[in-house]
Every structure is written in structure tokens, then in C-alpha cells.
Amino acid sequence: MNRKRSNALYRRALELIPGGVNSPVRAFKAIGTPPVFIERAKGSKLWDVDGNEYIDYVGSWGPMIMGHAHPRVLSALRKTAPKGTSFGAPTPLEVELANEIRKAFPSMELVRMVSSGTEAVMSAIRVARGYTGRNKILKFEGCYHGHGDSLLVKAGSGATTFGIPDSLGVPEELARHTLTAPYNDLERVRFLVDQYPEQIACIIVEPIAGNMGVVLPEKGFLEGLRKVCDEKGILLLFDEVITGFRVAYGGAQELYAIKADLTCLGKIIGGGLPVGAYGGREEIMEKVAPLGGVYQAGTLSGNPMAMAAGIATLQYLKTQKVYKDLEKKTAYFVEKIEEITEERRIPISINFATGMLTLFFTEGPVRDYTTAKMSNTKRFAQFFIEMLEQGVYLPPSQYEAWFFSLAHTQKDLDQTLEACDKALGKI
């Protein structure tokens, strides 16, 4: 494919933007090829600035569950924009969206709107600390919760496991308040909780991990976290920025029948516009200003454009047979790709949930960050490039999820599987 204009734009962007991109994974560094600059999108397709067409499995990293430029979302935006795009004041739309969220997530008795998933998580952790009077948090290796300072850490070692800064600019003193454990390792969680009695404010987890690739919770893991939190006075914080309204209308909490004390949402609740939300039990959320002493504010929180797009999206998801459709598409794709890889004798492990999956280039099974890192990233990079040349746009990293949308047709799936077969035959 000719990407002359994309390459020229990237060279220009390098002069103006750090790394030429506004979010690191977009730079395609893990692939070793210049990024593609997108001009427009519709349904399941993207078109780059050179006119090349792609079947899209990034979906803006999850929000586009209905497909790009869905008529209902566009209609809602057209009706809202002429009234004004930002007020910095309360609007009826934010009340309506909060109500839709609370009906889907009963554990979110009070909901606060923010502008991103990162902001939601940062705020929820502050609330957890304010409510419990404790400073430490416990997270899981390989789970990404945004770029807040407390969360940009990786695992330490030994009996006194403290976080080590995983980014320049994060003070070690702050990172020391973050404990880490391997995903799906309940024994390690119990050990850390016992090591730091009455010091841990919350355990934060992606109930289905999506940021080391898709990794599912093993039987008893989430239930065990709930039990530990109840026993030790720790708040359980579910980061459902990815899973919320994707794996089920009520997210992973509906799927696994577990209530979190605090929940963070994003992605789908904005219908493609920047938005996030956090919420939880009333007694906890009453700590948030102006009711309580935990301060959090934002000029664009509850932005009417984002609220309108989110309402249109959630109302559509609620009235359609969305999740059966997504589940059927995902299962079909997984069945066929397993047949292809088995025939070609390529070691691949596939983890999936409704509407999302990851092909790990390793024999697997992949159950945590350590096993995810056993993947052959060079082979993935080759696979990505081959798929891109055949008109399939995948996440440019081994450690990300592919996202299916309602707009993906059977033809899209079969065309993608054909491309996979050809790509796997070349690497």
C-alpha cells in the first residue's frame, strides 16, 4: 500500500509533537514502521490519508462498540451542538447519563463524571484513601489504569514488595505506597495484605485484564478479592474502563455477579467522545466535594457533547441484542483462527471475552503478565505488518486487545480470517 502522505505527516508531526504522536502506542514503535494517519471512519472501516481502506479492530481502543459514525450518535451530536458545546455548569444530560449508568451498575449509587478513564481512576483512588484514612494501594502487574503517578509502577521483589517507578517523573516516595501482585495470584494478595495490616486503602483490578492483552480472571480470583477486602476493611475498586458496557451491559460485575465498592468507567459511556466516570456506595462517594473533603473538579466534566453521545450509545445497547451478537462474532472468529493456527502449527494462545480478544504468539496458557511476556513480539510485529498490507488494522502491540463492533459483518470477519491465514503463512 502507498502511504506517502502518512509518512510525510509523521515526519512533520515529529517536529511538533513528542514522538510525533499524542499517545505512545500510536507511534508503532513495537512494530518498527511509521504509523498510519487516519482521515475518516464509518462502520467497521477506516480510511487513511492516502485513501487506503482497513477493517478496524482497534475501535478507538474500545469505545466504538456500535461502529464508527453511527447515525444515532451523530444525530445526538447534531441536536446538541447548536445549543452550545460547553458550559462549565450542570446540564440535564449529565443527570440522564448518570441515571443510565446507575441502572446498569447498581453498585454505583452515586456517580461523578470526569473527562477520561485516567482521571476517573486517579479520583477514585483519592476517594478510597480519603474514606479509609489509609495510604497504600494494591494493583496487579500488567494492569494499566491510566497514567496517574501512583499507578505507573512495576513489581518489586522479596517480602517487602514496594512499587518501583516505571516512568521518569514519578517520585519513589509516592511509588512506595503502591504494592503489586501477579494477576490471578490470590495467595500473593493475602500475603501483602497481611504484611501491611490496616495500611491498604484499596485493591484496584481490571476484572478482565485488557492492557497486557486479554487475560481472564481464574475461577475464585475475583471472589477471593471481594472476600479479602470485606475481611480487612479494604475497598475493592474495579477498573471497568474497558469492560464496562462491553462484556455485558452491566460490565464484568454483571458477568461475574460481584459488586465493587468503587467502579471506574470510560470508553463506551462517551460514545467516542472523551469521558470517564467513577462511582460507588453512597457512604463512600459522600466523601467527594462538595459533600466531603476529597477534592476533585473539572471544567469539562459532564460536557454536553460527550453526555449526548454517551446517552445515545447506552440506550442503543440496552434495546438491542448486542451482547449475543458480539459473543457470536467473537466465538466464530476464535474457532476459525484456532483451526488456521493448528493447521499451520504456529504456537498461538487466544484469550477472549465478549467483543474482545488477543492472539498471543506463545504456546500459553496466558494467565498473567509473566506468561504474556513470553510472547514472540518479533513474530507479532511481522504479523501486524502483513495484516496491515492486506487492509486489516490491528492494535500495534502484542499486549493489547482487539475489539469487535456491531458494525463488523460476516464478510469482514471472513476477510480478516483469510488475511490471518495468509499473514501466518509468511511469518
Catalytically active residues are: 144, 239, 267
Asked whether 279 and 262 are in contact (CB, 8 A), the reply is: yes
Measured CA to CA, the distance from residue 109 to residue 252 in angstroms comes to 17
Q: Which three cell numbers stand for residue 203?
A: 485493591
Cis ω before 34 (30° cut-off from 0): no
Measuring CA to CA, which residue among 361, 364, 367 is closest to residue 344? 361
Asked whether 182 and 141 are in contact (CB, 8 A), the reply is: yes
Measured CA to CA, the distance from residue 143 to residue 155 in angstroms comes to 11
Local structure of residue 68 (DSSP, 8 states): B
Asked whether 206 and 401 are in contact (CB, 8 A), the reply is: no
Measured CA to CA, the distance from residue 401 to residue 344 in angstroms comes to 23
DSSP H/E element including 164: strand 164-165
Using left for φ > 0, alpha for ψ between -120 and 50, and beta otherwise, residue 59 falls in left
Strands 136-141 and 178-182, sheet pairing? parallel
- Inter-CA distances, 52 with 1, 37, 60, 392, Å: 7, 10, 18, 10
Measured CA to CA, the distance from residue 103 to residue 250 in angstroms comes to 9
Q: Which three cell numbers stand for residue 383?
A: 504479523
